[in-house]
Amino acid sequence: MSLELHLSGKTAIITGGSAGIGLATAKALYSESVNVVVAARNQEKLEQAVIDIQSLPNTNAKIIGISADLTKAEDVEKVVSTTLEQFGKIDILINNAGSAKAGSFLELSDEAFLDAWNLKLLGYIRLVRAVVPHLKNQRDGRIVNIIGGAGRTPRPNFLPGGTTNAALLNFTRGISKELAQDNIRINAISPGLTDTERAKTLAEQNAQSLGISVEEYKAQAVKAIPLGKIVKPEEIAALALFLVSDLASSITGAEIQVDGGSTPGV
């Protein structure tokens, strides 16, 4: 049996595709000849990501970057309408843009929670709502929500992120049965500590709230991972490729944790 993904010619939207897990996933999809739309705010970073992706061995796929702030409903619409103008269809959505502040609960304001919920929870929900009518028309769609282990295993100094992720797990599972009627699959990947810019920022915030050095925090974090290593963004990308391929055609409403064995559970 060969693991052919058969994704060539499909079109994918990747939110937060200019860095970290999103960029790795955009590169992986492009390398499978998928037309790729990356959305993020910072124009310069976006342009650099497009250059990096285009420099991969040519696959006849196309890539565009769309500057969008996914906390804004109108920008979500812009991403979807520009994708349809450029490529005429959408097959795959990778919901990935997220950012939540870490810190001690009593020091976090309402804004820390509202910002996290608005970007990641509502941002993911809005994108699903915006793409589903198009996926329904073609009776085929593949959605992956990049969530995170704190949804299932909350931590006291990461409650804006944890509450966002718990709600997104509920949403992913809750909507999966309805979407299945139109052959649209929606799954979640929950990364553990993954080697990205965001992980560095979180390490700084966590270290500060715990009153230890960043190096101490990192050493403790790695020690708590049974496999003893931080996840690489490419590992999340590889699983996303599998989940959006026909190899996973019977998988929907699932969450897969990629965390070095940090959170075993039944």
Ligand X SMILES: NC(=O)c1ccc[n+]([C@@H]2O[C@H](COP(=O)([O-])OP(=O)(O)OC[C@H]3O[C@@H](n4cnc5c(N)ncnc54)[C@H](OP(=O)(O)O)[C@@H]3O)[C@@H](O)[C@H]2O)c1
Q: How far apart are the first and last CA of the chain?
A: 30
Task: Tokens for 158, please give them.
Answer: 């990461």
Instruction: Considering the complex, state which of residue 101 and residue 120 has its C-beta at the smaller distance from ligand X.
Output: 120
For residue 1, the minimal CB distance to ligand X (Å) is 31
Give bridge partners of residue 144 from the DSSP assignment: 94, 187
Residue type, 34: V
For residue 196, the minimal CB distance to ligand X (Å) is 3
In total, the chain counts a number of residues equal to 266
CB 201, CB 157: distance < 8 Å: no
Instruction: Considering the complex, state which of residue 64 and residue 136 has its C-beta at the smaller distance from ligand X.
Output: 64
Instruction: Considering the complex, state which of residue 216 and residue 246 has its C-beta at the smaller distance from ligand X.
Output: 216
Instruction: Considering the complex, state which of residue 141 and residue 160 has its C-beta at the smaller distance from ligand X.
Output: 160
Which three-class secondary structure state does DSSP give residue 184? strand
Instruction: Considering the complex, state which of residue 45 and residue 136 has its C-beta at the smaller distance from ligand X.
Output: 45
Among residues 196, 202, 236, which one has the least CA distance to residue 221?
A: 202
CA separation (Å) from 66 to 14, 49, 83? 10, 11, 9
Residue 67 is inside which H or E element, if any?
strand 63-67
Name the closest residue to ligand X (Cβ).
Answer: 20
Q: Which residues bind ligand X (CB under 6 A)?
A: 16, 18-22, 40-42, 45, 68-71, 96-99, 119-120, 146, 148, 191, 193-194, 196-199
For residue 107, the minimal CB distance to ligand X (Å) is 20
For residue 14, the minimal CB distance to ligand X (Å) is 9
Residue indicated by tokens 């309805």: 178
For residue 177, the minimal CB distance to ligand X (Å) is 24
Listed in sequence order, the DSSP H helices in the chain are 20-31, 43-54, 73-87, 110-116, 123-137, 159-180, 197-210, 214-223, 233-244
For residue 159, the minimal CB distance to ligand X (Å) is 14
Which three-class secondary structure state does DSSP give residue 222? helix
Instruction: Considering the complex, state which of residue 135 and residue 146 has its C-beta at the smaller distance from ligand X.
Output: 146
For residue 147, the minimal CB distance to ligand X (Å) is 7
Instruction: Considering the complex, state which of residue 84 and residue 225 has its C-beta at the smaller distance from ligand X.
Output: 225
